Structure 1
Amino acid sequence: MIWNAKNGTIPIGNTKMSYVSFGLGKKVLILLPGLSDGLATVDGKALLLAIPYKLFFKDYTLFMFSRKNNLPDNYSIKEMADDQAEAMRKLSIEKASVLGVSEGGMIAQYLAINHADLIDRLVIAVSAPNANDIVHSVVESWIGLAKLQNHKQLMINTAEKSYSEAYLKKYRKIYPVIGWIGKPKNYDRFLINANAILNFDCFNDLKKIICPTLIIGGEADQVVGPMASYEMHEQIKGSELYMYKKFGHAAYEEANDFNKRVFEFLVS
């Protein structure tokens, strides 16, 4: 198959975890998505999700994981990391670099703290070491919209909080139909993921991260706030920090050099 793109599942407890893989390299890069995984998993999307990562294909085989199916109530970020580690071991991934974005970055932090033997290098993008006041305000508003099943306003609010004004000028054209895009059958999965974020706090454990770490943030981030990146950088010994001046929470999508920056860190 083109780019060696594959769709798969792995048993975790009494349920399964979906993943996609692509690339031809011997090294492994794990990709952990953000809260959007609460609305739609990676299941069956290998070819689509592979497109932005062509730069990595020669050197890496990439795995992008969703959270497991049938999420239990009060499922925590720490438990997500434990399940992620189990999935890696079941796939015989002995060592990998990890790129976690937003909520995925929170999971990545606990992976590096509690499963250090699995982690080669770590990239934490537009994430936070805990649920600060900004996180609480934003995520609580999203929870409210999800409980009302107001998908249109949930998507609009997410976009307005995440993207730069330059991007939004084009994106706002689809607002009239955005309520029909990606609407889930129910919001249970989203709400469990969102509540896990609100209860997340690994700030005091960050000093346990010993692998080479790159932290990428956005000075205009309205979801976790720019200070979150500086706080992680201060706590993780030897970490590197790069802040995009003009971008916010969607810097990983908007910045043309984002993947190049990650790649250069991983192979340095």
Structure 2
Amino acid sequence: MLAQVATVTTQNFSMDYCKFGQGAETLVVIPGLSAQSVMPMADLMADAYKLLTDDFTIYVFDRKKGELTMPYTIKDMADDTAEAITELGLSNVNIFGASQGGMIAMEIAIEHPELVDKLVLGSTSSHVRDDEFQVFDTWIKLAKERRAEELYLNFGEKVYPEDVFVGSKEGLIQASKTLTDEDFSRFIVLTESLRHFDITADLNKITCPALVIGSKTDKVLGGNASELIALSLSNSSDCELYMYDGYGHSVYDCAPDYPERILKFLKK
């Protein structure tokens, strides 16, 4: 399936997105932290979500374009994504956020509840405390030192299950060779946004239905983070939690039944 890549321009910024599917409902996908834009993988994403394309028109949003300066917070990203959604004339959308994208999705549901119909939160957390920031500190250090191959391999080792990581090593090494200074700089700012992030106390403001999906073997944010989110969504009209025992942080890319779980929840 081919995806259409485009740019939405608001009064404040421009943001790339891709669009695919022909369903009557809208699903917004917010990807996690990455060293480079996911837009070159638009067709792969369209294929990954093909099960949903009869029921949903799907928009995958990048972060805003251009130079990023600190502080650029998760709330800032949420406000920007909400502005881009509104600029495109979308409303009453379903949102699937993975990892950092899930943090952004929760902020949108808190700050812009009128936009959100249902939430799906994958491998994410409502907080990143100091003692949980070690993984991200390593990535920031490698990015600052422009050690691209080590950054990609460390990222892959933490995010993917071992068999997937081993099979992906050569691809990660080749991808690392394309990193630019702008990529490094953006990655550092986006990763720093996770430092001291904590919206746990505000999760009771989310009232829409929510599906929380985590992995007990998540080496980035930990499986307990998903369980805490589900417990804290006390005012959600319908909250479900599903925990995989395997696949690691990137369960959203690796578990073959993941799209089916999303579809079942959104269509019920």
TM-score relative to the length of structure 1? 0.92
1:263 aligns with 2:263: yes
Instruction: Encode CA deviations 1:99-132: one digit per residue, 9 max, x unaligned.
Output: 0000000000001111111101100100100113
Matches of 2:4 and 2:180, distance apart in 1: 24
Matches of 1:147 and 1:259, distance apart in 2: 36
Instruction: Encode CA deviations 1:141-197: one digit per residue, 9 max, x unaligned.
Output: 1000000111111111111111112323323455664642x4233311101110111
Structure 1 unaligned segments of length 5 or more: list them: none
Instruction: Encode CA deviations 1:202-226: one digit per residue, 9 max, x unaligned.
Output: 1110011101000111101010011
Residues 153 and 236 of structure 1, relative CA distance in 2, 3 Å threshold? same
Amino acid in structure 2 at the alignment position of 1:207: N
1:51 aligns with 2:63: no
Residues 134 and 53 of structure 1, relative CA distance in 2, 3 Å threshold? farther
Matches of 1:41 and 1:12, distance apart in 2: 19
Q: Which residue of 1 aligns with 2:19?
A: 21
| 8 Å Cα contact 2:10-2:87 kept in structure 1 | no
Q: Which residue of 2 aligns with 1:32?
A: 30
Matches of 1:169 and 1:47, distance apart in 2: 24
Q: Which residue of 2 aligns with 1:216?
A: 213
Matches of 1:90 and 1:172, distance apart in 2: 39
Structure 2 unaligned segments of length 5 or more: list them: none
Aligned length: 263
Deviation at 1:46, TM superposition (A): 3.5
TM-score relative to the length of structure 2? 0.92
Matches of 2:19 and 2:194, distance apart in 1: 26
Matches of 1:45 and 1:172, distance apart in 2: 18
Superposed counterparts of 1:113-262, under 5 Å: 113-133=110-130, 135-172=132-169, 177=174, 179-180=176-177, 182-186=178-182, 187-237=184-234, 238-262=238-262
Amino acid in structure 2 at the alignment position of 1:156: L
